[in-house]
Structures are given as C-alpha cells and as structure tokens.
Amino acid sequence: MAAPTAKEKLLAGSLSLIREQGFAATTVDDLCARAGVTKGAFFHHFDSKDALGVAAVEHWSRSTEALFQAAHYHRAADGLGRVRAYLALRKSLIRGQIPEFTCVAGTLVQETYASHPAIRAACADSIFGHAATLVDDFAAAIEERGVGGAVTAESLAAHTQCVLQGAFILAKASGEPRRAVESLEHLERYIDLVFNVKQRLRSPKRRRSP
Amino acid sequence: MAAPTAKEKLLAGSLSLIREQGFAATTVDDLCARAGVTKGAFFHHFDSKDALGVAAVEHWSRSTEALFQAAHYHRAADGLGRVRAYLALRKSLIRGQIPEFTCVAGTLVQETYASHPAIRAACADSIFGHAATLVDDFAAAIEERGVGGAVTAESLAAHTQCVLQGAFILAKASGEPRRAVESLEHLERYIDLVFNVKQRLRSPKRRRSP
C-alpha cells in the first residue's frame, strides 16, 4: 500500500480535529501540524480552510459509506432483521474515546449551518445520504409486518439519524458513552414496538396482581 | 422595568451568536458589537471569552427553566398527560428561524466538550438538569400505567433530550424545521407505545384482508 499523500493526511487529520474541538476552533496551522505537512502543501490542495471543511465531510461520507456497505447487517433475511442488525452495529461502534465514535457531519453542521452554506450542504448529504441507505430495509419491514399509518420508511430512517446525533451530544455532555447507548436502546425498543415485536414492558408487580 | 445592563446585553447577545455561528467562531468583538457595549465593559464583567461561555449557558439554563416552569403542561391530571403536553409544547416551540429555536447548550457542548471542561460541565447541568424536571412526570406515568422492565423514568427523560438535540441537527442540516418536528412525533409515538396508548399503525390494505 502506498504511503498516504499530503492530501490524505490532511483529510484524515481534519476528521480527528473536527471531532475533538470543532471546525471554527481548528486552524490551518493545527491541521498542518496534525497531518505533518507544510502550509504550502495545505494551500496546494485546498484554497481555504472552508474548502478543506467541505472536502473533510465528503471524505467522511465516503469512508463511512464503505464501512457500512461492507458490514454484515445487510445479510439478515428480512427488513426488520436488517434494521435491528444495523442498530446493533451502531451500538457496538460506541466505544473508546468520544472523538473516535462521534460524527464529523453532526459536529460540523451544528456550528456552520448558517455561516458556511457549502459545508452545511455537504453535511446534509452525509447525514441524509446515510439515512437513505436504510430506507429500503425499513420499507421491507413495513411491507413484511403490515405497518402503515403515519410511519414511513423515509421518516424512520431520518429518525434513526436524529437519535444517533442526539446520543452523541448526551455522550459529550456527560462524558459517558453509555448515555448514547441507552438512547439507541430506546430507539431499538421504538422500532420493535412500531413493528409489533413482543416487549416486556409490564411491571412485575402488576403482572402478579392483574 | 429597568434598561438592561451591559452584562445582561452581553449574555442575551451571546445566546443569539452561539446559536447562529457557534462558540469558537464568535469573537469578543462580535459579542461587544451585538450587545452594543465596549470591550472594556466586556472585560469588566467577564475575565475571558471562556468565562462568558460558562455564564451564557447558566443564563440559558435559568431563562429556559423559567419558561418551562411557567408552562401549562404541568396542569395535566396524570403523568402521561403531562409528558404528552410537554412534547406538544416542545413541538410548538419549533418555529421561526433556526437560531431562534435551537439549543445553546447542545450547540456549545458539541465543539467544546473536550477543550473547555467548565463549559462542558455547564452544558451537562443544562441538558440533564432540564431532563430531571421530567423525571417525576415519567415516574408517575410508569406507576399509573404499570410499565416496568428496562424502561426507567430517568432514561426516558434523558432520551427526550437526546431526540430534541438530534432533531435540531436534522433541522440545521436540512434547513427544514419540519424535520425536527417529525422526529418529535416519532418520540411522541414511542412514548405512547411504551405506555400502551392505542396506535393506528396497521396498513389499511392489511386491515381489509385479515
């Protein structure tokens, strides 16, 4: 495998720095120091820090897309099984330090949505593009289990990304990754309830005295 | 009512600026210009921009606490009714421009959780402190409706904040506040399902041919 180029090192370093300290707090000097490249190399590849911001999100989308495309959850036989396996995978990815498992696009869009339209657009593509990869599985689950009403595959897919993004914020605020896992468990329970999977939600006391 | 002091103007201006462009991107000059005060006045009240950051979150917590304490949702007769009225209120607050309805603490913690421990702590107090105001209502609903198992009042309360924070990110990424409202509707449906409120989730086609 060829050694990473300056551009690849800048992109990889930007994903770490943005997840550690956000975009505005990250300077071109920080990016060059993390990547171990010169400022000349930076401006050879990127016209500005904003251009790097857009490229960083696109790089993030490509690398996460590859990870999820190669994942085993697609192998489940039915739509609900694939959705549940996807959520189990997302829970398993919440480990290690917070910058290792949180989302570049969610962090970036929070601070740039109004001031940097091109970055906002790249973040929207990343978040809703990833949500779109779940729509077929949700649609299959809806068909298989005869669910309808106000619940659509598109809105369930977007909601999974909502809960993931919110879960990362709870983890950051508390410093406790388990807070994120707990919210994903609520999302798993919601999806099971929507698709009529049997739940143990009665209190034991009430079950003994009906 | 007395005219706002320089400190009050700086705190109010900081809430707008943080919600518009994040914390790192906001300079002391921006804060003074928005508040219409001098830099001398700024440093009379705050030792640093970081000190203003902590004070801004505390100001945010106090003002949102006052808003929610005075809200009508507490009047519902039962716990589930209060939770549902709280969520209806949260949906109704998602209107106007994005900086007007998004969360100062959620935005701030995203970019400062690792670099600014005092700001992170203030954001955690704000988010989990607000979640704590819902625990009694969830506990009453659990008792009233005989729900138990893995669902606790504390975790449901934290999850409501997770969904709100994630919903704001979807709104920022898409530029569409309705995305946030849709995720809150999923949260309402989840809570109704957990508490065994009847749902219309069967597809009409399946209902006609059992």
B157, closest residue in chain A (CA to CA): A183
CA distance B162 to B149: 21
Q: What are A1-20's pLDDT values in tens digits?
A: 688 999 999 999 999 999 99
Q: What are A153-180's pLDDT values in tens digits?
A: 999 999 999 999 999 999 999 999 999 9
CB distance from A206 to chain B under 8 Å? yes
Percent of chain A having pLDDT more than 70? 93
B188, closest residue in chain A (CA to CA): A190
Residues with Cβ within 8 Å of A198's Cβ and at least 6 positions away in sequence, in order, are none
Given this model, what pLDDT does residue A202 score? 60
CA distance A31 to A11: 9
CA distance A68 to A133: 9
pLDDT class of B101 with cuts at 50, 70, 90? very high
B180, closest residue in chain A (CA to CA): A162
Q: Residue A2, by phi and psi: left (phi above 0), alpha (psi -120 to 50) or beta? A: beta
Q: Residue window 54-73, chain B: list those with CB within 8 Å of chain A.
A: none
Which chain A residues are within 8 Å of B156, Cβ to Cβ? 186
Q: What are B102-121's pLDDT values in tens digits?
A: 999 999 999 999 999 999 99
pLDDT class of B1 with cuts at 50, 70, 90? low
Provide DSSP, A186-202. Answer: HHHHHHHHHTT-----B
Q: Residue window 100-119, chain A: list those with CB within 8 Å of chain B.
A: 105-107, 109-115
**Locate tokens 């006045």: which residue?**
B41
Which one has a higher pLDDT value, A201 or B168? Answer: B168
Residues with Cβ within 8 Å of B20's Cβ and at least 6 positions away in sequence, in order, are A114, A115, B99
Given this model, what pLDDT does residue B206 score? 45
Instruction: Share the mean pLDDT of chain B.
Output: 93
Which residues lie across from B147 on neighbouring strands? A202
pTM of the model: 0.94
